[in-house]
Chain A
Amino acid sequence: MENKQPFIRIRKKDDRPLWQQILIKVIAIIIALIISALFINLITKLNPIKVYESMFRGAFSTTRRIWITIRDTALLLSIAVALTPAFKLKFWNTGAEGQILVGGLATAAMMIYFGDKLPSAVILICSMVLSALAGALWGFLPALFKAKYNTNETLFTLMMNYVGIQLVEFFVDVWDKKQSHSVGVINPNTQAGWFPSVFGQQYILNIIIVAAVTIFVFVYLRYSKHGYEVAVTGESENTARYTGINVPGVIIRTMLISGAICGLAGFTEVAGISHTISTKTSGGRGFTAIIVTWLAKLNPIIMVIYSFLIVFLDKGAIQIASDFNLNEYASKIITGILLFCILASEFFTNYEIVFRHKEEH
């Protein structure tokens, strides 16, 4: 009887040493950079080295650009962090976009309605609270029905994005005085409700908020009873129920937190960065963050690295686009290539390929 092993076989590999895991990721990133360079080269006919020089310039050439790169990394990180508790629960929160938007909307509303009535600090604090509440509400609704009827949360949260988008469209029209369908910079002269400069730097406060939120989430998940309940429920709902954990309660509570932090990201974006509101305020970061969170396996340091990498590529692609007269969607393509490569590399971390001649047992 012929009993040949297949030529290539795939075997689960759980115990890959850390240096190998890192090496695999680094190789994946390098491959992604090469493919991106080839892609740009194909379109612009430029030397790939020149392309990366241009990208590097986009992200780091001036102090201001470096700050913007850091600021945007922090923003993306804060959304990835916001999604972490939900993911630990295996709750696919694809609604970060909407949660960011309503958070930003609450902030913009405070700035517009109370800009000349309250001191800036009061507006800031109220905006912060309101935006967290708005985001939490957007997270609460899908969680409630997930807990009650096991309603598909991926699509529910996704639909909530569009409800949020339309709400923003509505208020943009209502607030816009010139019927140009744009709110413009809010309180440009008084700067009421804007983040103040700290140590002479415009974006320090953004970074402080994101750092605080990140630390909070990781302490919460690691060292609190709530965090433990999230971990158990995420691993197995049945185990959780058996040990007496209130599963619906955990789902709702976790999504309140996840949504609230997304709302805070909207607050940071509107009060700390753009000082305006539009449907572009979330800018697709809600989706990118899902992928960052997943790929980082909920590890905050890796999240920082991936967030930075994506922001770097984004800034770089925008620079290339303006240098060589391309359109800005190049950055989405490059982000896609990077993420595909990292996704593919997961396989080589989790499995190993065995060839026939190695087979001994």
Chain B
Amino acid sequence: MTLDVIIAWITAAITFGTVIMFGCIGETLNEKAGGLNLGTPGIMMLGGIASLAGAFFYERSTPNPVPIVCVLISLISCLVVSGLAGLLYGFLTITLRANQNVTGLTLTIFGNGIANFFGGSLVKLSGGVGQISVASTSKAFKATMPFISSNLGIVSQLLFKYGWLTYVVLIMAFAMQYFFNKTRTGLNLRSVGENPATADAAGINVTKYKYAASCLGAAISGLGGLYYVMDYVKGTWSNDSGIEALGWLAVALVIFTSWKPKNATWGAYLFGFCYWIYLYIPAGINNALMKLFNVSRTTYMQNLYKMIPYIVTIIVLVLVSSKKKRENQAPQSLGISYFREER
């Protein structure tokens, strides 16, 4: 394996990791307040399509799109739409006390439907066959830093040539960690997730915290969709539900990190490595396996290699659960709706 190949792999892993890190941080915020949102894949799809639609209509309306406006429009549409999805989830599970799993799954179906429906329509609007492209916006999101992104040789290539959201998510992860452990509001939020009745008795407004976590969490997860559309697939859209698969990995990553956002900073990249490993299986192993399975083409075998991230996730789930460390457990009231009169 040459240096170039390794750099390419790391680069791919980091861009992949950024998508699911956004999803993971948002979901962690919600789960810390007791809301298990299986709608995260759907929310990420909504965030993705909203940012794309915003950028698309802006770029179409003007011959010379201004980068900063592109960024603002797509960011705001993404945050608003995914935040609203979080509000819907919150309304159903917090106020109406619907089952969280079922509400989340419905949100994923719904989000997938909306995103692909309008994604398909946008593709049609942009001229039918071929793909939609919001080149200016994508370029603005992929903008790199002057000097350090290009002039430091391998260091630039490995660390500094990514779009700026790649660094935003890292800051966000550490900020979230700090928020959970060192701020009054963060501690209150965690107490709501652990034991809402006690939090309620201590004078914390449980409903308010849960709603805030649901909306903000969804908005952050939605950014994962935006990053996917603008950076990961470079401002295009295809109705293949690629975001959905990543969304589920983001939900799994929450458990992998044992609800600690700082762990997401390396866990997400690790998932990224596993996801792309199918392109980097050493030829010797590949040939041996091809013989073993009596298969004639490498692309056939790659179907099996693509199982690796999911199998790794399963192994991690089993390992985490078999250890049963107290500080690594889920928030106690996770998945349960709170009703004051039921205490």
How far does the alpha carbon of A336 sit from the alpha carbon of B85 in the complex, in Å? 12
Mask, A78-95, CB within 8 Å of B = 1, is 000000000000001010
Contact B245 A162 (CB under 8 A): yes
* Cβ of B7 under 8 Å from chain A: no
* Cβ of A288 under 8 Å from chain B: yes
Contact B105 A151 (CB under 8 A): no
How far does the alpha carbon of A343 sit from the alpha carbon of B109 in the complex, in Å? 14
Q: For residues 49 through 75 of chain B, which have their beta carbon under 8 Å from a beta carbon of chain A? A: none
A145-B318, A163-B310, A344-B92 known; A288 and B109 CB under 8 Å? yes
How far does the alpha carbon of A291 sit from the alpha carbon of B102 in the complex, in Å? 6
A331-B113, A340-B110 known; A174 and B295 CB under 8 Å? yes
* Cβ of A220 under 8 Å from chain B: no
One of B88, B114, B317, B341 near A156 (C-beta < 8 A): B317
* Cβ of B15 under 8 Å from chain A: no
* Cβ of B96 under 8 Å from chain A: yes
Contact A162 B307 (CB under 8 A): yes
Contact B310 A159 (CB under 8 A): yes
Contacts of B107 in A (CB 8 A): 336
Contact A347 B96 (CB under 8 A): yes
Contacts of A158 in B (CB 8 A): 248, 251-252
Q: For residues 79 through 97 of chain B, which have their beta carbon under 8 Å from a beta carbon of chain A? A: 88, 92, 95-97
Q: Tell which of A155, A337, A346, A347 has the most Cβ of chain B within 10 Å.
A: A155
Q: Which of B18-26, B186-194, B218-226, B297-305 contacts A (4 or more CB under 8 A)?
A: B297-305
**Interface secondary structure of A, over-half rule:** helix
Q: Tell which of A167, A294, A329, A335 has the most Cβ of chain B within 10 Å.
A: A329
Interface residues of B toward A: which range? 35 or more
Contacts of A167 in B (CB 8 A): 303-304, 307
How far does the alpha carbon of A101 sit from the alpha carbon of B273 in the complex, in Å? 27
Contact B99 A294 (CB under 8 A): yes
* Cβ of B108 under 8 Å from chain A: yes
Contact A332 B112 (CB under 8 A): yes
Q: For residues 1 through 33 of chain A, which have their beta carbon under 8 Å from a beta carbon of chain B? A: 10-12
Contacts of B96 in A (CB 8 A): 343-344, 346-347
Mask, B31-55, CB within 8 Å of A = 1, is 0000000100000000000000000
How far does the alpha carbon of A331 sit from the alpha carbon of B247 in the complex, in Å? 21
* Cβ of B133 under 8 Å from chain A: no
- What is the size, in residues, of chain A's interface with B at 8 Å between Cβ atoms? 51
Output the least CB separation between B66 and chain A (Å): 31
How far does the alpha carbon of A343 sit from the alpha carbon of B103 in the complex, in Å? 7
* Cβ of B286 under 8 Å from chain A: no
A170-B300, A332-B112 known; A346 and B311 CB under 8 Å? no
How far does the alpha carbon of A294 sit from the alpha carbon of B106 in the complex, in Å? 12
* Cβ of B121 under 8 Å from chain A: yes
Output the least CB separation between B329 and chain A (Å): 10
* Cβ of A284 under 8 Å from chain B: yes
Contacts of B120 in A (CB 8 A): 327, 329
How far does the alpha carbon of A220 sit from the alpha carbon of B106 in the complex, in Å? 29
Contact B252 A155 (CB under 8 A): yes
Contacts of A149 in B (CB 8 A): 318, 321-322, 324
Q: For residues 165 through 196 of chain A, which have their beta carbon under 8 Å from a beta carbon of chain B? A: 166-167, 169-170, 173-174
* Cβ of A330 under 8 Å from chain B: yes
Closest partner residue, chain B, to A346 (CB atom): B98
Closest partner residue, chain A, to B304 (CB atom): A170
One of A159, A174, A287, A329 near B313 (C-beta < 8 A): A159
* Apart from A332-B109, A343-B102, 15 more pairs, CB < 8 Å: A10-B339, A148-B322, A149-B324, A151-B322, A152-B317, A159-B310, A159-B314, A173-B300, A287-B108, A288-B109, A291-B105, A327-B116, A332-B117, A336-B106, A343-B99
The 21 sampled A-B contact pairs (Cβ below 8 Å) are: A10-B339, A94-B38, A149-B321, A149-B322, A158-B251, A158-B252, A159-B252, A163-B307, A163-B311, A166-B304, A166-B307, A167-B303, A167-B304, A169-B306, A336-B107, A336-B109, A340-B110, A343-B98, A343-B99, A347-B95, A347-B98
8 A-B pairs with least C-beta separation = A336-B110, A332-B113, A347-B96, A333-B113, A170-B303, A327-B120, A329-B117, A151-B321
User: Chain B: residues with CB nearer than 8 A to chain A?
Assistant: 38, 88, 92, 95-99, 101-103, 105-114, 116-117, 120-121, 239, 245, 248, 251-252, 255, 295, 297, 299-301, 303-304, 306-307, 310-311, 313-314, 317-318, 321-322, 324, 339, 341-342
User: Chain A: residues with CB nearer than 8 A to chain B?
Assistant: 10-12, 92, 94, 145, 148-152, 154-156, 158-160, 162-163, 166-167, 169-170, 173-174, 284, 287-288, 290-291, 294-295, 326-327, 329-337, 339-340, 343-344, 346-347, 350-351
